[in-house]
Amino acid sequence: MSNDHSFEGITGKFSRNIYATNKGKLRLAVLQRDLQPWLDAAGNKSLRVLDVGGGMGQLSQMFARAGYHVTHTDISPEIVAEAKSLHEREGLSAHYEYHVAPLQQLPDLLKQRFDVVLCHAVLEWLADPQQALATLKTFLAPAGQLSLMFYNRDAKILANIIFGNFDYVQADLKVKKTVRMSPQQPLSPADVAQWLEHLGLQVTQKTGVRCFHDYLRNRDDQQRFDELLALELRYNQQSPFVDIGRYLHWQINHA
């Protein structure tokens, strides 16, 4: 894998675009709903949590608040610094350790296995996402669980056809000019499923993330957050809606 993609120098813009919008809030709420059962099932057990490409560290706070130790990693020193500040403000710093490194360097830094591995919106930025999955597996404890969220190629095709971008779809979703904060390598769910099978990993739960928001023709409807969230939580683990989420969240363990 290459050193891939960094958001250095644009942390503020990235944060506003991702985390301060309804898109980001929907994503966070869905992930929190999905992962709460992992906390409930842990009971008195002390979970070891690894957050790969953890960004601002919003999601991992649910584990830190429960008293668990979180190893937070990201490729950007700027984003890790922002995550530290956020966790300090929330009074959670004692539950964190931080590493500035891309995924491919983590095996040299971390010599332990984890009960929970979080990897959200990372694979679509990497030169070799299949190898990245193999690396993630090395961090899973025997009974560990992987929370994987990735940009859904099928949903990107659907959205662009709906909005009339036929040439873009015919060009296999390739453009001459890339947008720095837009992932250019959405993943085929069929490919990811095959990679996981080859690694001896199994998907125990699938969820679509933003199954409706991104398809709304009236952009004003995207501001109806409470209604959209209620619909997401009601339908996003049901067929056919689960498969058209802009992102897919898969919960995974050893087969």
Cα dihedral sign, 57-153-200-29:
positive
Q: What is the pLDDT of residue 1?
A: 36
200 is in an annotated binding site: no
pLDDT of residue 177: 58
pLDDT at 181: 63
Answer whether residue 7 shows pLDDT above 60. Answer: no
Which structure tokens are listed for 198? 């080859």
Q: Where are the domains of the chain?
A: 11-254
Q: Sort strands 201-209 and 69-74 into parallel, antiparallel or unpaired.
A: unpaired
Distances in Å between the alpha carbon of 232 and those of 64, 133, 210, 226?
26, 27, 7, 10
Mean pLDDT for the stretch of residues 32-57: 94
Give percent of the chain above pLDDT 70: 90
41: confidence class by pLDDT, cuts 50, 70, 90: very high
CA distance readout (Å), 29 to 24, 25, 160: 9, 6, 25
For the chain, the average pLDDT equals 91
Any binding-site annotation on 113? no
CA 220-121-163 angle, to 5 degrees, is 40
- Residues 199 and 137: their CA atoms lie apart, in Å, by 8
Tokens 């992962």 correspond to: 35
Encode burial over 167-201: b for 16+ CB neighbours within 10 A, e otherwise: ebeeeeeeeeeeeeeebebbbebeebeebbeebeb
pLDDT average, residue stretch 92-109: 96
Domain 11-254 sits in CATH 3.40.50.150: yes
- Does the pLDDT at position 178 exceed 90? no
pTM for the full model?
0.92
Q: What's the mean pLDDT in 223-247? A: 97
| Residue matched to tokens 């250019």 | 184
Is 67 annotated for ligand binding? no
Q: Does the annotation place 24 within a ligand binding site?
A: no
Q: What is the per-residue pLDDT for 43?
A: 84
Neighbours of 19 (CB within 10 A): 15
* Residue 176 pLDDT: 56
How much is the pLDDT for 169? Answer: 93
User: Is 27 annotated for ligand binding?
Assistant: yes
Over residues 117-159, the pLDDT tens digits come to 999 999 999 999 999 999 999 999 999 999 999 999 999 999 9
pLDDT, average across residues 34-56: 94
